[in-house]
Amino acid sequence: ETGVTQSPTHLIKTRGQQVTLRCSSQSGHNTVSWYQQALGQGPQFIFQYYREEENGRGNFPPRFSGLQFPNYSSELNVNALELDDSALYLCASSFEGFSTVEQYFGPGTRLTVT
Amino acid sequence: GQNIDQPTEMTATEGAIVQINCTYQTSGFNGLFWYQQHAGEAPTFLSYNVLDGLEEKGRFSSFLSRSKGYSYLLLKELQMKDSASYLCAVRDNYGQNFVFGPGTRLSVLP
């Protein structure tokens, strides 16, 4: 059973650029949630995908968008990058959209916007 | 609104017991979770409470009072490797939206 993986590990972008982050969910999981974690703070919920549909969204602007593929892997896209987007981006996978107890986090992608 | 409060930092001695408190005010409630996060690593699941009372899991226990909007994580027989941030999170009624607290950074001293 493979765990949650994310790529890339680290990324440096310039303000105004666009970025795509990727997440492969744990085997058997069909739900992926994305979080943004600024240094010294708790993760902030961005959105969740369940069976390829967005299943909830936090307080993030539309320039944060996502996709989930038939194999349940997922992408997070951020357009028009701002300096405040610098953070650790975590994805977490779980089974089912409504009855799961536990979600498993990937190692994260550290994004730096300069 | 959604609000979760935890102490920012705590210090304890190896072998001791420490209690990390969490208070929450959320629009819905569908379970309270505790995660451990070592610096530079992903959060790992520690415990889950959905009913009032104490859940024990080895050296870790978690307590919930829904009427008071209060939980605590109890760590016994502290070890140096327990030095980490401890995150309290509430799952609301809307799918799997987890609202995380700011985390409590625990330092275990020899």
What average pLDDT does the structure give for chain A? 91
Residues of B in contact with A89 (CB under 8 A): none
Cβ distance of A107 and B44 shorter than 8 Å: no
- For B36, the token pair is 């451990």
What is the per-residue pLDDT across A35-83, written as a single tens digit (0 to 9) for each? Answer: 999 998 999 999 999 889 988 888 899 999 999 999 889 999 999 999 9
State what percent of residues in chain B have pLDDT above 70: 95
Half-sphere exposure of B69 (CA within 13 A, CB side): 12
The per-residue DSSP string of A30-96 comes to -EEEEEEE-TTS--EEEEEEETTEEEEE-S--TTEEEEE-TTS-EEEEE-S--GGG-EEEEEEEESS
A-chain residue closest to B34, CA distance? A102
Mean pLDDT of B12-39: 94
Residues of B in contact with A31 (CB under 8 A): 96
What average pLDDT does the structure give for chain B? 93
Question: Rounded distance, CA A83 to CA A25, Å?
Answer: 28
Q: What is the pLDDT of residue A77?
A: 98
Mean pLDDT of B98-110: 94
Mean pLDDT of B9-26: 96
Distances (CA, A) of B108 to A26, A88, B6, B16, B80: 32, 25, 18, 9, 5
Q: What is the pLDDT of residue B28?
A: 84
Minimal C-alpha gap between A39 and chain B (Å)? 10
Give the lowest-confidence range in A105-114, B24-33, B61-70. Answer: B24-33
Query: By the CB < 8 Å criterion, does B1 face chain A?
Result: no
Angle at CA of residue B99, ends A29 and B28, nearest 5°: 95
Query: By the CB < 8 Å criterion, does B55 face chain A?
Result: no
Question: Rounded distance, CA A100 to CA A14, Å?
Answer: 38
Of B41, B95, B103, nearest to A42 by CB-CB distance is B103
Q: What is the pLDDT of residue B96?
A: 61
Buried b (16+ CB within 10 A) or exposed e, B38-56: eeeebbebbbbbeeeeeee
Q: What is the pLDDT of residue A26?
A: 85
Mean pLDDT of B76-95: 90
Residues of A in contact with B101 (CB under 8 A): 42
Question: Rounded distance, CA A100 to CA A44, Å?
Answer: 19
